[in-house]
Chains A and B, each alone.
Chain A
Amino acid sequence: MRFVLAPVLAPVLALISAALAAGVIAQAAPAADKPDPAADAKAFRNYFVTKFPSVKLEDFVNGPYSMNEDMRKQWVEKEEFPPYDFALDAGKEMFAKPFKNGKTYADCFENGGIGVRQNFPYFDAQKGEVVTLELAINRCREANGEAPLSYVKDDMASLTAYMAYTSRGKPFDIKIPDDPRALAAYENGKRYFYTRRGQLNFSCASCHVQSPGQRLRAEILAPALGILNAMPIYRSEWAGMGTISRRFITCNSQTRAVPEEAQSEDYRDLEYYLSYVSNGLPISGPGARP
């Protein structure tokens, strides 16, 4: 049936070559095979390191600034006295302020919440779900009789900015326990990352795996390796701070895909996947971006 194959073959080949480019196909698990996150992470890192031989491994966390010299100069200048300074100081104050019941955020976290950001997200075996830092902060608030914060900016951004700052330089250390539910969450995050969606039919990988360093209209695209390490970020575009939740939502809207609710299962699993494959790269948050 060769005459039927031709129109079908091209898009299929495109899909396969895209998957190959993403270094995924070797690990694409047929239903019977067990996922191998460690092998994924290794392949993920190798892909970027090979594609950008002149970029130091730690530098990938600087997103577009690791990809373009003119932009890097502007970023270096901004980092002399960074725009996230105010949110950072506000976060420090907020973190120390006790809840109405007298307890503080420190009571909800290991090590008093200092220097722990690199352990998030983690898989909560009791609840059977991925817990991100943002989710943990609101759970802490609710457990202590306080109203939850909006996930996308303001106070949540200030608090996560402070907690990230206390972990600056520490490598991402995400764990995937040998629990089928954790593996399923990881695989769901990976599936989300590589699935095309929306009017523009982009997957996260379309930009951040296939095209880092290139322009999407006027923006220089960041590599997916280390892409969450600088969060939360002060974006000039937002003239303010935004969290991982904010960025997932706005990125979906901007690529004309339907955004999910902040901290949805897909978003948390996505954060789990992206953080895990960036294990070993240093936390650099809070960050500044265009």
Chain B
Amino acid sequence: MSFSIEGFSATRRLVLQGAGAVALFGFGALAARPALAAANDTYPEAAFKQKADKDAIQALYGRTADASDKVKLDAPEIAENGAVVPISVTTTLENVTSISFFVSGNPNALAASYAIPEGTLPAVSNRLKMQQTSNVIAIVEAGGKLYSATKEVKVTVGGCGG
């Protein structure tokens, strides 16, 4: 859906020029992967109810993750506002079937979980809520194993919001 006003070439996006330019995640080829069931064929109610990140990961995937430098988690140092924190993940791992985001300091750690079918790039950008300064953990399920990357994001009380 595009939005245009006759007579105007004002670009919707202030900073990025050119709707055609697609700077994609750009890494390793998508090899064939074994047909693993997605981590969540139905809504993972139980996982969303867990408080601690370890419990949520266990409830969602049934196993634990190993930290991996092949998972690149992009999140700000200091969130400009805890209500809208842009967070994204890319990975060079192959046979990715699922990507999930956990916010340790939230009342319930699991924030979002994405099923990555074959043919879909193993990368996601989204905007999450963070209640307080805490770790953000990205989990990538690839080839039946779990890999993680963690980053602390500071969340402050807004000064002028006080």
Contacts and interface: CB of A to CB of B under 8 A. Distances in A.
Contacts of A44: none
Main SS class of interface, B: loop
A71 interface: yes
A131 to B, nearest CB: 24
Interface stretch (A45-53, A76-84, A120-128, A182-190): A76-84
Nearest to B16: A80
B155 to A, nearest CB: 9
Contacts of A219: 158-161
Contacts of A82: 12-13
Nearest to A220: B80
B16 A290 contact: no
A193 to B, nearest CB: 17
Interface residues of B, number: 30
Contacts of B85: 74
Interface centre among B13, B77, B156, B158 (most CB of A within 10 A): B158
Given A78-B84, A219-B160, 4 more contacts: A236-B80, A237-B158, A239-B83, A290-B80
Nearest to B1: A89
Given A165-B10, A218-B156, A76 B16 contact: yes
Interface in A59-94: 62, 64, 70-71, 73-80, 82-83, 88-89, 92
A251 B162 CA distance: 10
A217 B83 contact: no
B83 A79 contact: no
Interface string B7-51: 110101111100000000000000000000000000000000000
B161 A237 contact: yes
A79 B15 CA distance: 7
B14 A290 contact: no
A218 B3 contact: no
Contact of A236 (B76, B84, B125, B160): B84
B117 interface: no
